[in-house]
Amino acid sequence: MSVLDIDGVNNFRDVGGLPADGGRIRSGMLLRSGQLSAATTAGVNEVRRRVAHIVDLRDGEEVAAEPTEIEGPDTTHLPLFLGSVRSFFETDTSLEDLYLHLLEESGERLVAAIRIIAAGEPTLIHCTVGKDRTGVTVALALAAVGADRDAIIEDYALTESLLPAERSHRIAAYLRSQHPQAVHAVALATQSPAPVMRALLEQVDERWGSAAGYLRANGMTDQELEALRAALVEEVAEQG
């Protein structure tokens, strides 16, 4: 996994190199980031160089406020939340409940995003921050092809340290002023605790047998899962 410096884009990284059953995740195939609307000309050119398909998981309100116009890569808009992001702050939803909501309410859209990865072209998954919707989508894709669980969790947890500290402080102060009674708002906006992703993956195993089982339950075929593995996993020759 490598953090990439894309001018004007936060939290941009390639998950290639993570250990997986029978090999490792292929570099350059699955990338993740926050929104692209502030990308400079240099940043846009770098995205174009690396990416063939962009999957934007933001809702319509977010896209309208911060539109992305990068010509070249195909872009698919797959809003994962059924409703607006603001509603989760208003109801003081926890990260755990938010991720469960994604699994239960957006299974077909999660599968649609992961089908694009399975097509085998360099794919960038992004939302606004690149933490929650992106984190769940990427974690499911990686888990479904047998990536090491600790490595998946470590990749998810890395986001918090990659968000600009000034932004996180500003957002936390705003949320405390707007939702003074909220318990979960700051975590929802700025944090990516490893135990939350570990618990989510354990819940997937308990309820659907595995991440692949979850994807099957939401319409993904065994052939598509094999294509996902072929796209993401490269064999590594044994030493000695």
The pLDDT of residue 103 is above 90: yes
Closest to 66 measured CA to CA, from 34, 88, 30, 44: 34
Model confidence pLDDT, tens digit, residues 167-186: 666 766 766 666 666 666 66
Domain ranges of the chain: 2-231
Using 50, 70 and 90 to split pLDDT, how confident is the model at 4? very high
The pLDDT of 145-171, averaged and rounded, is: 86
Tell me the average pLDDT of the chain.
89
Query: Which amino acid is present at 20?
Result: A
Helices 133-144 and 107-118 cross at an angle (nearest 10°) of: 60
The pLDDT of residue 96 is above 50: yes
Using 50, 70 and 90 to split pLDDT, how confident is the model at 240? very low
User: Which range is least confidently modeled, 2-11, 78-87, 217-226?
Assistant: 78-87
The pLDDT of 199-226, averaged and rounded, is: 98
Model confidence pLDDT, tens digit, residues 9-64: 999 999 999 999 989 999 999 999 999 999 999 999 999 999 999 999 998 888 99
Q: Which CATH number fits domain 2-231: 3.40.50.10070, 3.30.530.20, 3.40.50.300, 3.90.190.10?
A: 3.90.190.10
Using 50, 70 and 90 to split pLDDT, how confident is the model at 90? low
